[in-house]
Chains A and B, each alone.
Chain A
Amino acid sequence: MSHTEQPVHVTRRLQKEESASYDRSTLDYIHRASATGLYEIRGLGAKRKLPHFDDLVFLTASLSRYPLEGYREKCSTRTVLGTRFAKKPIVLDTPITIAGMSFGALSANVKEALGKAATAMGTTTTTGDGGMTPEERMSSKTLVYQCLPSRYGFDPDDVRRADAIEVVLGQGAKPGGGGMLLGQKVNPRVAKMRTLPEGVDQRSASRHPDWTGPDDLAIKIQELREITDWEKPVYVKVGATRVFNDVKLAVHSGADVVVVDGMQGGTAATQTCFIEHAGIPTLAAVRQAVAALEDLDMKGTVQLIVSGGIRTGADVAKALALGADAVAIGQGVLMALGCNRDTYQQDGQIHSAEAGYAALGTAPGYCHHCHTGKCPVGVTTQDAVLEQRLEPEWGARHVRNYLKTLTMELTTLARACGKQDVHHLEPEDMVALTVEAAAMARVPLAGTNWIPGQN
């Protein structure tokens, strides 16, 4: 056969070879960057595959470890946060809390729904970068108030109205970056709360205006305590980077509770390069945070809340087993409200949201366009029409159901490990499925005694 007469199937296969480095996603990135000269801004958290809680499994009941009965035998989920200095610590019925997300990023209806759900579940919700809305204060039995670098809407009356204060250094999606809200979401109400001109892009402050470093943070925390006459717990939240050092310094600065947010943590808007390439996986962050507390003999005195990609009851159980006292969920509750769902419910009717996704150039299951303010299901929007697609009662019920499911799964796994209290879960209750997860979580690779880096 001559060269020009080779079988067709041979030449066809050789013409479509994909590159692992310059894959379709990278090609799309380069094409877009060259067309616009802009970095991409999007919502949600890191989308690429990372070592995560899925890489750990529980060693439940065996001949040497006996389970609790699922229905008759109690498994406590009561959680207390802020025992170190505050006169009035936070007492929760479940260790699952709702993470800080701003009014501005989210609609007022969403904040109300989250508050109602948290109240029903006996847990906390948290304000975000934009201040406290009356809706969320009224609907949340227990509300954590964030103090952020931007100080948008920060008000001492709200400090006095809050149940705890959370001083935010950063979040897992963008440690070292500040909040971002594009002009299309700065509607009159948001503009007024944040003292911004309407429709104008909000710029990010990445440092606090009046303190830098743990030595100054110590004085700032004291200021917040003095203003609240030492009643309310002060949390310190960091995006997960140098977690061991940061947790130690947060404790030295006087934090009652430390919140560590891993790179899977979400945002409503930031540069993609930040989301995917800054911060460490939550799995690695948890153990470093716990190690820091143990190093200072503060485990149990200063509580640890972990967030960033907590999705399921199993995730909650694993975070607790690794040593967290509680978790915070952001993206998960938004998905419970309908994020990436193909329908929404309005006025008792189910409607298709497909057209809304298509208009954004995406589809349910793939959307991360929170930054546009055109959320097809009315969650991350300030648009007067779109925000009606999320009704507070419906939303509250869905979030409550989600958190209830997670809590039930948590106790199921805890009971199977023989625990009467979910806080008795420990690292030895688990093994890892991959070498990376074993190293990060500091538990043995399944079937072996090996913990990379430890033995």
Chain B
Amino acid sequence: MCGIVGLLLKKPALHDRLGELMVPMLIGMTERGPDSAGMAVFGACLPEQQRKISVYSGLTDDGAAYDWVGLADAVNAALKVHATPVIKGNHAVLTFEGPAEPVKAFVKTFDAKLHLLSAGRSIELYKDIGTPAEVAARYDFAHLGGSHLVGHTRMATESAVTPDRAHPFTAGEDFCLVHNGSLSNPNGVRRMLEPRGIRFETDNDTEAACRFLEWRLREGDTLHDALQKGFEALDGFYTFLMGTATELALIRDPFACKPAVVAETDDYVAIASEFRSLAHLPDVKHARVFEPAPEEMYVWKI
């Protein structure tokens, strides 16, 4: 049970302000989600031959004092990919030349307690336990820039409050998902996907939805078709908000018990579980405010 937020800035001139606009949205969702918070930010796309990964060291012994420079050096020594880290305590974004898979595999063998958060050309992902305000301060969300983001605050339901079970969940490259609600058949979905080579990291029900979409996208479905199949395969209550390199997408299940509201102007599209999180946005008094209908797919492109 949770709060979700999404923001897409239509004008490049506003991209510097993404974080500044987002922090009050996230904090507005604290009562819905006091345990942990996460944010996926999509910024300027790296050139085709480069990738970046977000990595979390909170589960290692050194935690926020992790030797990220040492990690980058080890990656470069082994793979020669010109990896450079941008460090924020227990979090680092590693940018490098070449595909992501070899670097991800190396990082996991280098230190099994490091947690890989995301991979892609555009996405950076942060998540940790703590209140939304604490997490926002820890990673300086207020100064992040980019074109769009997907964020989440969590009140843990069926799985434990640990950072890896916070949302967003990612799959493949430049894709993430946040979820408000509760799926009733996540274990069956997991058991269907594991023999197909889809690896699960947690017992979180949201991960089941994310991996299902990962499978369908891997099999060549468009996001639209994958979500359509999701209506059949995924049971329970959900509002899903997804981010790709170029778009935000939102769907609600047919019961639509979990809330969602959208505010749109010429400058932005903002989504949140409650209007409270949108109330501070510029010119929101003149925004088109509406509730997404159930079972419809809403897609906004940058």
Chain B residues within 8 Å of A218, by CB = 31-32
Q: Report if B182 contacts A (CB, 8 A).
A: yes
Chain B residues within 8 Å of A362, by CB = none
In the complex, A214 Cα to B3 Cα: how many Å? Answer: 12
Q: Report if A26 contacts B (CB, 8 A).
A: no
Contact A214 B157, CB 8 Å, known A249-B1, A252-B34: yes
Additional A-B contact list (16), CB under 8 Å, known A214-B1, A215-B273, A245-B157:
A207-B257, A212-B237, A212-B258, A213-B1, A213-B257, A215-B2, A215-B3, A215-B31, A215-B32, A215-B33, A215-B155, A215-B180, A218-B31, A218-B32, A219-B31, A242-B158
Contact A213 B158, CB 8 Å, known A218-B32, A249-B1, A252-B34: no
Instruction: Encode B169-186 as 1/0 by CB contact (under 8 A) with A.
Output: 000000000001110000
Chain B residues within 8 Å of A219, by CB = 31
A249 pairs with B258, CB closer than 8 A = no
Chain B residues within 8 Å of A207, by CB = 257
Partner of A249, one of B33, B155, B259: B155
User: What's the nearest-Cβ distance from chain B to residue A214, in Å?
Assistant: 5
In the complex, A113 Cα to B156 Cα: how many Å? Answer: 43
User: Which 8 residue pairs are nearest across A and B when measured between Cβ atoms?
Assistant: A215-B1, A212-B257, A215-B32, A213-B1, A214-B1, A252-B155, A215-B155, A245-B158
Q: What class of interface size applies to chain A in its complex with B? A: 10 to 19
Q: Is the interface of A mostly helix, strand, loop or mixed?
A: helix
Interface residues of chain A, those whose CB is within 8 Å of chain B, are 207, 212-216, 218-219, 242, 245, 248-249, 252
In the complex, A218 Cα to B237 Cα: how many Å? Answer: 18
Chain B residues within 8 Å of A252, by CB = 34-35, 155
User: What's the nearest-Cβ distance from chain B to residue A72, in Å?
Assistant: 50
In the complex, A266 Cα to B11 Cα: how many Å? Answer: 62
In the complex, A94 Cα to B157 Cα: how many Å? Answer: 34
- Scoring A215, A216, A219, A248 by chain B CB atoms within 10 A of each residue's CB, the highest score goes to A215
Chain B residues within 8 Å of A213, by CB = 1, 181-182, 237, 257-258
Chain B residues within 8 Å of A245, by CB = 157-158
10 A–B contacts from the bound complex (CB under 8 Å):
A212-B237, A212-B258, A213-B182, A215-B2, A218-B32, A248-B156, A249-B157, A252-B34, A252-B35, A252-B155
- Scoring A212, A213, A214, A252 by chain B CB atoms within 10 A of each residue's CB, the highest score goes to A213
Q: Is the interface of B mostly helix, strand, loop or mixed?
A: loop
Chain A residues within 8 Å of B259, by CB = 216
Chain A residues within 8 Å of B34, by CB = 252
Interface residues of chain B, those whose CB is within 8 Å of chain A, are 1-3, 31-35, 155-158, 180-182, 237, 257-259, 273
Chain B residues within 8 Å of A249, by CB = 1, 155, 157
In the complex, A242 Cα to B157 Cα: how many Å? Answer: 10
User: What's the nearest-Cβ distance from chain A to residue B182, in Å?
Assistant: 7
Chain B residues within 8 Å of A248, by CB = 156
User: What's the nearest-Cβ distance from chain B to residue A302, in Å?
Assistant: 15
In the complex, A214 Cα to B33 Cα: how many Å? Answer: 10
User: What's the nearest-Cβ distance from chain A to residue B299, in Å?
Assistant: 26
Chain A residues within 8 Å of B257, by CB = 207, 212-213
In the complex, A213 Cα to B259 Cα: how many Å? Answer: 11
Chain A residues within 8 Å of B1, by CB = 213-216, 249
User: What's the nearest-Cβ distance from chain A to residue B160, in Å?
Assistant: 10
User: What's the nearest-Cβ distance from chain B to residue A58, in Å?
Assistant: 34
Chain A residues within 8 Å of B32, by CB = 215, 218
In the complex, A199 Cα to B259 Cα: how many Å? Answer: 38
In the complex, A249 Cα to B33 Cα: how many Å? Answer: 11
In the complex, A218 Cα to B1 Cα: how many Å? Answer: 11
The closest CB in chain A to the CB of B274 belongs to A219
B158 pairs with A214, CB closer than 8 A = no
Chain A residues within 8 Å of B3, by CB = 215
The closest CB in chain A to the CB of B273 belongs to A215
User: What's the nearest-Cβ distance from chain A to residue B190, in Å?
Assistant: 18
Chain A residues within 8 Å of B273, by CB = 215
The closest CB in chain B to the CB of A218 belongs to B31
In the complex, A249 Cα to B35 Cα: how many Å? Answer: 11
In the complex, A215 Cα to B257 Cα: how many Å? Answer: 11
The closest CB in chain A to the CB of B29 belongs to A215
Chain A residues within 8 Å of B33, by CB = 215
Chain B residues within 8 Å of A214, by CB = 1, 155, 157
In the complex, A369 Cα to B92 Cα: how many Å? Answer: 66
The closest CB in chain A to the CB of B158 belongs to A245
Chain A residues within 8 Å of B35, by CB = 252
User: What's the nearest-Cβ distance from chain A to residue B275, in Å?
Assistant: 13
The closest CB in chain B to the CB of A219 belongs to B31
The closest CB in chain A to the CB of B34 belongs to A252
Chain A residues within 8 Å of B237, by CB = 212-213
The closest CB in chain A to the CB of B2 belongs to A215
Chain A residues within 8 Å of B155, by CB = 214-215, 249, 252
Chain A residues within 8 Å of B258, by CB = 212-213
The closest CB in chain A to the CB of B3 belongs to A215
The closest CB in chain A to the CB of B154 belongs to A215
User: What's the nearest-Cβ distance from chain A to residue B114, in Å?
Assistant: 27
User: What's the nearest-Cβ distance from chain B to residue A175, in Å?
Assistant: 14
In the complex, A212 Cα to B1 Cα: how many Å? Answer: 10
In the complex, A245 Cα to B157 Cα: how many Å? Answer: 6
In the complex, A214 Cα to B31 Cα: how many Å? Answer: 10
User: What's the nearest-Cβ distance from chain B to residue A212, in Å?
Assistant: 4
In the complex, A152 Cα to B97 Cα: how many Å? Answer: 65
The closest CB in chain A to the CB of B159 belongs to A245
The closest CB in chain A to the CB of B181 belongs to A213
In the complex, A212 Cα to B33 Cα: how many Å? Answer: 15
User: What's the nearest-Cβ distance from chain B to residue A222, in Å?
Assistant: 9
The closest CB in chain A to the CB of B161 belongs to A248
In the complex, A218 Cα to B259 Cα: how many Å? Answer: 14
In the complex, A218 Cα to B32 Cα: how many Å? Answer: 8
In the complex, A65 Cα to B156 Cα: how many Å? Answer: 42
User: What's the nearest-Cβ distance from chain A to residue B161, in Å?
Assistant: 9
In the complex, A218 Cα to B35 Cα: how many Å? Answer: 14
Chain A residues within 8 Å of B181, by CB = 213
In the complex, A215 Cα to B35 Cα: how many Å? Answer: 12
In the complex, A249 Cα to B182 Cα: how many Å? Answer: 13
